[in-house]
Amino acid sequence: MTVVTFSVSVRRLDLARLGASLREMAALKIAELRVDVSDGSFVSEFALGFDVIETVRRESALPIHVHLMAERPDRFLQDFARLGCAAVTVPVEACLHAHRILGRIRELGLAPGLSIQPGSALTKLEYLLPMLDHLVLPVRDFGAKPGDVPAAAFDRVRILRENLDYHESRAMLHVVGDLTVPEAARLAAIGATRIVLDRKDVVHVEPLEASIQAYMDAVAQARRIA
């Protein structure tokens, strides 16, 4: 069975007690912390910024993975390297020359990633998969209301898993989108290798460590039963 790891979305934490929340997660087996950064243009919402990343870096030793949802993402790459981030993922739709941006991310010592929006054709990723360390698949649009995962999202995970395997790629295939335990388990069973934990009823509660551990254990158990 493929090993599935977890990242936690920082924007879903209780930002009023961010430092405490990060310290509470120190004992958990989390692969990384996910920080969404947006400019209010590429997506309609503003997300987190450099000051939050600085706090995360100061309070946690976990790797920081930035999902940069912005027009002309190349403008900010050096800042994320300076702040000590481990990985930067950019939307393929925001890149005029995606291969150049991926190359620049790697030159800066960061792990490069691409995300692709739910309404975009997967053919946009053609020729780019061998360049990736991370491939992020949102199952619904950023900021959309929670609901059942569309059937098409499961098909997209299967297709991407097949393509990554064809290229013998070790890239992590992330899925994100307020996933329930059964949804996360099913997506993992068909090829996702990293679950982004962004459910507010899991990461915006206390005791935080117990809540997150319970979610991860439930996903593992659901995979074994499936």
Q: If you average pLDDT over residues 41-55, what whole number do you get?
A: 74
Would you call 117 helix, strand, or coil by DSSP? coil
For the record, the structure tokens of 153 come out as 């999202």
pLDDT confidence of residue 188: 96
- CATH number of this structure's domain 5-225: 3.20.20.70
Which has the higher per-residue pLDDT, 171 or 48? 171
Q: Average model confidence (pLDDT) for the chain? A: 92
CA distance 53 to 84: 9
Confidence of residue 45 (pLDDT cuts 50, 70, 90): low
pLDDT at 200 over 60: yes
> pLDDT, tens digit, for every residue of 125-140?
989 999 999 999 999 8
Q: Is the pLDDT of residue 112 over 70?
A: yes
**pLDDT-based confidence at 71, cuts 50/70/90?**
confident
Beta bridge partners of 35: 66
* pLDDT of res. 38: 82
pLDDT top residue among 47 and 15: 15
- What pTM value is reported for the model? 0.94
Residue 224, pLDDT score: 79
pLDDT at 141 over 70: yes
In terms of DSSP bridges, do strands 87-91 and 64-69 run parallel, antiparallel, or are they unpaired? parallel
Domain ranges of the chain: 5-225
Instruction: Tell whether omega for the bond before 207 is within 30 degrees of 0, i.e. cis.
Output: yes
Share of the chain above pLDDT 90, in %: 81
Rounded CA gap, 94 and 92, in Å? 5
pLDDT in tens, 163-199: 999 999 999 999 999 999 999 999 999 999 999 999 9
